[in-house]
Amino acid sequence: MNTMDNCTSVVITGAGCLLPGCDSPAELWQRALEQRCATVPYADDMVRSELITRFGHINTQQSAAALDAVPFKLRRYATAASQWGIKATKDALVSANLELASVDAERVGVFTAQADYCYPAVQSFMTGIRQQYEQGELDIPGLTHEFLNARGMDSFLSIKGLSNNMLAIASLAFGSRGDCGAYVQNASATLAALRSAMISLKRGDSDVALVIFTGSYNEALTLAELFQAQQLTSAGASNEFRPFDQARDGGIAGEGAIAFVLETAARARARSAPVLATIDGISNTTRFERDPSAYRRCTDRLLQSIGLDLDSVDAIVARGLGSKDDDEQEIQQLEHLLVDGQAIPVTCASPITGLVPACPVDLLLALQMLQHQQIPAIANLTRPASTRVPWVYRQPHTKAIARVLSLGRCYSGFHSAVSLSLPSFIG
Amino acid sequence: MEQRVVVTGMGLICGQAMSAPALFERIKTLQSSVRVHPGLAAYGVANAACSYVDEAVLAGLAARYGAVASRCGPPALLALHAADQAVANAGLDLATVVRKGLFAACNKQSMEAEDLLVLAQHLDPHTDTLNLDLYLELERHDPLAYFHKRQDMGALALAERYGFDDVVMTPGDACAAGGISIGTAYRYIASGELDVALAGAAETMCNYMPMLSFSVLGALAPQGLVNPGEISRPFDKARSGFVMGDGSAFLVLESEAHARARGAVILGYISGFAKQTEAWRITSSPRDGSDYARCMQAAIRDAGLALDDIDHINAHGTSTEQNDSCESLAIKKLFAERTAKIPVTSNKSAIGHSLAASGAIEAAMSILSLQHQLLLPTLNYQEPDDDTADIQVVRQATPAPLRHVLSNSFGFGGENSALVLSAA
């Protein structure tokens, strides 16, 4: 693959986000520079836990702003994550200086990556469960009766549970009637949405592509299972998210949304759009088992397809899941990638927002690094677990940055590499 | 230059059929796969009739696929079975192909009824709060359960099995996902990005949560006292909703040049594809069928064909009041007086609606119709209503000269797709 993905003519002209503690990419950048983490003690109206210590929450004010961004008639159908996605997309369009009304609705593509953990959740069934409690012991036939016959469940659950809820809400909110694609589940969805948007633009199926990423880990079973799998930092431990640190003891889950406006470079030039970065290429690999060469393989394939080598990369954003085992694997993969001694500074965005499913926070940070020509230090990293990786820690690093490699991995064994470069590299 | 895209392999599994030819034969002989699901009936689900894959079949697949099965969940098992068949049918060693991609749609792996019951037992009904810590302390957990819920596990399992190492994606476009999976793969090959794709979908929706969710929305057909096999009746005046289904189908797609170079048997062509959003309403499409017609027309245009070239429509045909009305009006709007000459069928009459999987299964049935030059019947169709009148619904298996078939998949949320499949 990659001949099309990497022919450097798709550019990002707008970016928006609604992330923990960050209402805009600029706020993410400021927090990253200052190493100010936005994760907070876990709090949920319906779930009590002291074992789940911290979370990257979208706060009440942010949620209210997101709801305001959604047309009234769509609010009852839109999940919270889809509401965040609409807010992020509106901001991305402003950033792109683009009035969608000026584009033929059938030429606007929408591509979404949705992390689909929150529906169905026990919250959707609270009424029926309460009603059956009032009658005595719980059992499944009794619950079924309450759900089906006594308005005991969210009657819009099948719509909120759609894997294309974000796409449906976005196409309605923005009036887009063009090419489309809704992808699940996590990092693989992120890459698929980006790839499909790029293909659509390249083939001429769309003039503008809205790429929307959204998701949350805040669902009881999901949190319980992540906790039990020792992916989350626990009570009594450091209580901080310390990716790549010797003292790391787990990640912090989070939630949020990111949106990009993509166009061909030619179209962006024609309308004098602000070009934030060129997407040089995308590559990924899938492995259930430990694979120290996963990053190397993705990166080599990506860079070879655009006729470059690792020396052309000025900075790397790594994922940093934060658990002992996952970070050990990622460190091995980074060491393997940099085996020839390349001193490419490595940073990481995850401690700032927590781990936000399906959202390329690392890519958004890479975009900011290109714009600001600076590499933020990894928050909470004081004693790196490897001396063979040139981590950026304690202080930001300033250097000329023309190309950033964003590397990603998730719990399931999906690894990815995306290369962004400065607009001057177009063509 | 655009590459022609061919189908060289197909595999399938659904309720009561373990392969594409087996399902083709069942539908040809008017056999429905819809039965009352005993587990769902025992849980008190009123309309428990569905086209489910038996537990024994799933257990057999789990035994066959071993460790992968334990971490990937039921849709992945169906996907592995269907994909293995497709790859064997294509006679292709995927390990020898460098430029290959995997497109494996799946909408949902749901929470089980038992999971909900256990969670409910940790709820405080007075405060409406769940004590998660007590739940963690008292309940046994499968450490892999988190992964079982992920829709992309089928894609990951297939990627591992066949060495897909770059383009791997999981479309989740509701009822249109299977068609979109195949259509997206078609685009990658047509535009020269890939030589080979394994494309399809898997879905296991005949379980508690989906049945409840679609039931309260009023989309599922009520069971009543009718024979389960008669409930799904697309385009019929007495239709009352859709019937849920499990299933998976995968196609091996190749550029024609790649297939011919290796001497592959070409089963058919993917000639055209369109996918679009409606921006109309989240719960319904324009009543006049205009957006369905727009999508069908775009696919035919993409194939470089004229309306007169379409010989048959494999309809979305869900058996819901609204879909079948809109689709009928769309066909009449687009094809005008030719409507009377275009036979239309709905495979969902026999196997229910397996959401993501349906578009892939129907693409496989369309290819077999083209190969056998045979129209498959729509079960239970007896009498049209005002909207479905004039649609030429096929009632018996009928030989017919077929060059091009249009296969529609229209998704909840206003996301539509159409494929044009052509004879080899």
pLDDT tens-digit map of B319-366: 999 999 999 999 999 999 999 999 999 999 999 999 999 999 999 999
Same domain membership, residue B83 and residue B104: yes
Does B383 lie in the same domain as B324?
A: yes
> Which structural domain, as residue segments, surrounds residue B123?
113-138
Q: Output the pLDDT for position B143.
A: 64
Residues 107-146 of A with CB under 8 A from B: 110, 114, 116-117, 120-122, 125-126, 129-130, 133-134, 138-145
Instruction: Give the mean pLDDT of B53-82.
Output: 92
Q: What is the pLDDT of residue B70?
A: 75
Cα three-residue angle A325-A328-A332, rounded to 5 degrees: 140
Residue B102: CATH number of its domain? 3.40.47.10
Q: Which two tokens stand for residue B170?
A: 């999981």
Residue A6 confidence class, pLDDT cut points 50, 70, 90: very low
* Residue contact A228–B164, C-beta within 8 A: no
Whole-angstrom distance, CA of residue A154 vs CA of residue A312: 52
CATH number of A10-119+161-425: 3.40.47.10
Q: pLDDT-derived band of residue A2, with 50, 70 and 90 as boundaries? A: very low
Length of chain B: 424
B87 and B11 part of one domain: yes
Both B104 and B119 in a single domain?
no
Strands of the sheet containing A47-48, edge to edge, are A47-48, B129-131, B123-124
Give residue B35's pLDDT: 96
CA closest to B129 among chain A residues: A46
Q: Are residues B167 and B300 in the same domain?
A: yes
Alpha helices in B66-164 (DSSP H): 67-72, 74-90, 113-121, 132-138, 145-148, 153-162
Residue B143 lies in a domain: no
Domain ranges across chain A: 10-119+161-425
What tokens were used for B370?
A: 């083209």
**Is pLDDT at B1 greater than 70 in this prediction?**
no
- Tell me: pLDDT of A426 over 50: no
- Chain B contact set for A4 (CB, 8 A): 191-193
**For A145, nearest residue in chain B (alpha carbons):** B44
Dihedral sign computed on CA atoms, order B190, B98, B254, B298: negative
Do B161 and B263 lie in a common domain?
Answer: yes
pLDDT of residue A99: 97
Q: What DSSP element (H or E) covers B294?
A: helix B290-302
Looking at A232-246, B13-27, B92-106, B227-241, which range is the least confident one? A232-246
Q: B176 and B132, same structural domain?
A: no
Domain total in chain B: 2
B102 and B118 in a single domain? The answer is no
Helix/strand/coil (H, E, C) string of chain A?
CCCCCCCCCEEEEEEEEEECCECCHHHHHHHHHHCCCCCEECCCCCEECCCCCEEECCCHHHHHHHHHHCCHHHCCCCCHHHHHHHHHHHHHHHHCCCCHHHCCHHHEEEEEEEECCCCCCHHHHHHHHHHHHCCCCCCHHHHHHHHHHCCCCCCCHHHHCCCCHHHHHHHHHHCCCCCEEEECCCHHHHHHHHHHHHHHHHHCCCCEEEEEEEEECCCHHHHHHHHHCCCECCCCCCCCCCCCECCCCCECEEEEEEEEEEEEHHHHHHCCCCCCEEEEEEEEEECCCCCCCHHHHHHHHHHHHCCCCHHHCCEEEECCCCCHHHHHHHHHHHHHHCCCCCCCCEEECHHHHCECCCCCHHHHHHHHHHHHCEECCCCCCCCECCCCCCECCCCCEECCCCEEEEEEECCCCEEEEEEEECHHHCC
Is the same domain home to B98 and B30?
yes
Give how far A234 is from chain B: nearest CA, Å. 12
In a shared domain, residues B354 and B370: yes
pLDDT reading at A144 higher than 80:
yes
Considering chain A, what percentage of its residues have pLDDT values greater than 70?
Answer: 96
Look at A61 and B47; give whichever has higher pLDDT: A61
Which residues are paired to A278 by β-bridges? A11, A421
* Distance, CA of B356 to CA of B152 (rounded, Å): 13
Query: Which chain A residue lies closest to B45 (C-alpha atoms)?
Result: A144
* B304 inside domain: yes
Residues of B (204-263) whose Cβ lies below 8 Å from A: 208-210, 212-217, 219
Report, as residue numbers or ranges, the catalytic residues of B.
175, 316, 353
Residues B132 and B211 occupy one common structural domain: no
Checking if the pLDDT of B166 tops 70, the result is yes
**B217: closest chain A residue by CA:** A155
CB of A219 within 8 Å of any CB in chain B? Answer: no
Provide, as residue numbers in chain B, all residues whose Cβ is less than 8 Å from the Cβ of A180. 173, 275-277, 415
Q: Does residue B148 carry a pLDDT above 60?
A: yes
Q: Is residue B190 domain-resident? A: yes
Residue B119 sits in the same domain as residue B104:
no
**What tens digit of pLDDT does each residue of A25-48 get?**
999 999 999 999 999 999 999 999
Chain A nearest-CA distance from B307, in A, is: 21
Of B114, B170, B217, the CB nearest to A189: B170
Residue B366 inside a domain? The answer is yes
